[in-house]
Amino acid sequence: MRNKPFIVIMAGGIGSRFWPFSRNNYPKQFLDILGTGRTLIQMTYDRYVKIAGPDHFFVVTNEQYVNLVKEQLPDISEEQILAEPVRRNTATCVAYASYKIQKENPEAKVILTPSDHLIINQEEFQEKINLALEAAEKEPHLITIGVKPNRPETGYGYIQFIDKTHDSEIKKVKTFTEKPTLKLAEKFLESGDFVWNTMMYVWKNKSIIHAFEKYMPEVAEVFEEGREFYGTEKEPQFIKRAYTLVKNTTLDYGIMEKAEEVYTVIGDFGWSDLGSWMSIHELQPQDDNQNVVEANAMLYDTSNSYIKVSPNKLVVVQGLDNYLVNESDNVLLICKLDAENKFREFVADARNKGEGFV
């Protein structure tokens, strides 16, 4: 199994845009959001386990979620769960995993993936991953997985590529763009040289280590000092100290936007980042009025809405269009379905009411 890639699952987020269903102590990656019988992190594990085997996984998560990972992924060992003492965004998360893998196998390849995305066409996805693994052979190439956009989505990041060879599925990356305005997203779609950024990456571990040394040397220096501690009982103590020394930065901002040898493998395999209630609404079965109903409900003059309430209650809804109605434990939320930009405000204000509400 030494020649198999390592799979690094990033699972430390709190899923605030799925509040109140997703809570601080039980965030969205540990929930069966799609009603499949498997949580999102379990679906992510299932997606990659045939590629690498259980012993080649690392899950990077906040220390408060370690027991949830153990419970939901019983085939991986405790040593494969990298517990973050505080949240420091994706650059630090990736640095921790990369320097730990470097000690275990300096020649390793790595697949980096979020824990909470959906992929529908598994066979097509597997083909793109294999293509990315081949492309990653050449150092210092960093490979992203891009998805052909089918709408001017403002909730995703975008990758612009250079189309030197029209028939090639591997393109040189020109720029990264964070979530654009609708007008800009429409221009991206029209141009034909932008893809959605899935936040999935493939590389030789040497390549990402080199990138940290070049573009984030302060982070590289911190985690390089931990070489003697990785895999020992002193690792947690070292990591607590290391996380106090690095800043809160995304991988894209810290490295990918600056690196020169970045390429994207473009696919069309039915991907969603499941980033909001709206994205789930688009995926779930709808009635004749484009409502998703997960409740014992009576709807009147209601359309384009998502009703998710315990079946123990009868819910009567009249006159709503583009609304979310969700009751989870001790919170009832009623808001516009497309109001995902308001959720940070909702959660912050709810915290002021008491920690038990978030």
Q: Measured between alpha carbons, how far is 144 from 147 in angstroms, rounded to an integer? A: 10
Q: What is the mean pLDDT of residues 144-157?
A: 93
- Write 15-19 long-range contacts (CB < 8 A, 24+): 15/116, 16/343, 16/344, 16/347, 17/275, 17/276, 17/277, 17/340, 17/343, 18/276, 18/277, 19/331, 19/333, 19/343, 19/346, 19/347, 19/350, 19/358
| CB 209 within 8 Å of CB 103 | no
Structure tokens at 21: 């269903």
**Per-residue model confidence as pLDDT tens digits over 248-261:** 999 999 999 999 99
Q: 286 CB contacts (<8 Å, ≥6 apart)?
A: 292
pLDDT tens for 77-124 read: 999 999 999 999 999 999 999 999 999 999 999 999 999 999 999 999
| Pick from 325, 335, 331: nearest CA to 357 | 331
Confidence band for 164, pLDDT divided at 50, 70 and 90: low
Token pair for residue 73? 């992924």
Binned at pLDDT 50, 70 and 90, residue 2 comes out as: low
pLDDT of residue 165: 60
What is the predicted pLDDT for the residue at 1? 44
Q: Which carries the bigger pLDDT value, residue 243 or residue 164?
A: 243
Q: pTM of the predicted model, to two decimals?
A: 0.94
Share of the chain above pLDDT 90, in %: 93
* Residue 153 CA, distance from chain mean position: 17
Q: Which residues contact 127 (CB under 8 A, 6 or more apart)?
A: 267
Structure tokens at 313: 């209650």
Name the region of 128 (left: φ>0; alpha: ψ -120 to 50; beta: rest).
alpha
Closest CA to 87 of 11, 199, 12: 12
Q: Which residues contact 247 (CB under 8 A, 6 or more apart)?
A: 88
